[in-house]
Amino acid sequence: MKIARLAHEGRSRLAVEDAGVWRLLIQTDLAAVVAGGEQQIDSAEEPQAHPDLLAPYPGGTIFGIGLNYKDTIRDMGFPTPQTPYLFPKLSSSVVGPYQPIIVDAGVTAEADWEGELAVIIGKTARNVPEENALDFVFGYTAANDISARDVQRADPQWVRGKGLDTFCPLGPIITTADEIPDPQDVRIRTWVNGEIVQDGNTADMVFGVKTLISYLSRHFTLHPGDVILTGTPSGCGGFMTPPRFLSPGDETKVEVQGIGSLINPVAATVRRSFSS
């Protein structure tokens, strides 16, 4: 099954694909549906032909995994991690399909793309063995783990470099786990301005999805709605010769097999401040 979050008549709604047709659900809370809530199709309503898709983000903790593809590690010249390299991705960095990745030139000159498979957790998980770790997956979506390379290098950890506003595009939809029975056989491709820059497969991961879930669950309780960005294959701009980075006017597209294409324009910041 495929689930989308979308803006419909001014409201955030959920839709499921039913025999090739998208139909709105009566339920509007993605977190509740991910946690096993009922899914009742609102047969009276179909979404408009071109709905505004919203990030299919249930609102949980976002875990990032660094250095998790063998070819990427080779690009970067790092040793292969012995255990998964974890970093947090802030919830305030999430944007949906077609929403802009905003690059603040006062913060970074090196915004880079990372097309990834993202795992949506569906059941509470603590100390889960690898053998049944995939039972805790609700579904999968695509992610672009936008990374400010200069900021990443400047800090001993990656909170700032990975967590900037708009630096976590997710979408376009969630494909439930039953439709992706083997998450280690999924093609991931990324384009920038129509030029393919990444073409990898999750088979190349150092730590596969079930290992990541088991490892994370030994340290943290995983909750329904938590998201795991599982790392990116070779082809990031920062490790090209010469390096390439995102600029306002660019467009990124991440396509994950079985999920679809996550497209985002890149825009310059409009400096805003908020005060009470």
Least CB distance from residue 98 to Mg ion, whole Å?
21
Least CB distance from residue 14 to Mg ion, whole Å?
27
Least CB distance from residue 150 to Mg ion, whole Å?
16
Residues 212-241 as x/- pattern, contact with Mg ion by CB under 5 A: --------------------x---------
Structure tokens, 123: 């059941």
Least CB distance from residue 40 to Mg ion, whole Å?
36
The dihedral through the CA atoms of 275, 157, 196, 4 has a sign that is negative
Structure tokens, 151: 């900021």
Least CB distance from residue 235 to Mg ion, whole Å?
12
Task: Count CA within 13 A, CB hemisphere, residue 178.
Answer: 3
15 vs 197, which CB is nearer to Mg ion?
197
114 binds Mg ion (CB under 5 A): yes
Pick from 257, 272, 208, 259: which is nearest to 1 by CA? 259
110 vs 145, which CB is nearer to Mg ion?
145
Q: Which stretch binds Mg ion (CB under 5 A): 82-90, 109-117, 235-243, 258-266?
A: 109-117
35 vs 147, which CB is nearer to Mg ion?
147
Residues 50-69 that bind Mg ion (CB under 5 A): none
68 vs 175, which CB is nearer to Mg ion?
68
CA–CA distance, 32 with 19 (Å, rounded to integer):
23
Least CB distance from residue 142 to Mg ion, whole Å?
12
> 253, 113 in Cβ contact below 8 A?
no
Q: Which helix (H) or strand (E) element contains residue 264?
A: strand 260-268
Position closest to Mg ion via CB: 145
Least CB distance from residue 118 to Mg ion, whole Å?
10
The four Cα atoms 124, 133, 33, 29 give a dihedral, to 10 degrees, of: 60
Q: Total number of residues binding Mg ion (CB under 5 A)?
A: 3
110 vs 114, which CB is nearer to Mg ion?
114
22 vs 158, which CB is nearer to Mg ion?
158
> 165, 102 in Cβ contact below 8 A?
yes
The dihedral through the CA atoms of 265, 268, 272, 273 has a sign that is positive
Chain mean position to CA 247: 21
35 vs 168, which CB is nearer to Mg ion?
168
Q: Which helix (H) or strand (E) element contains residue 8?
A: strand 2-8
Positions in the binding site for Mg ion (CB under 5 A): 114, 145, 232
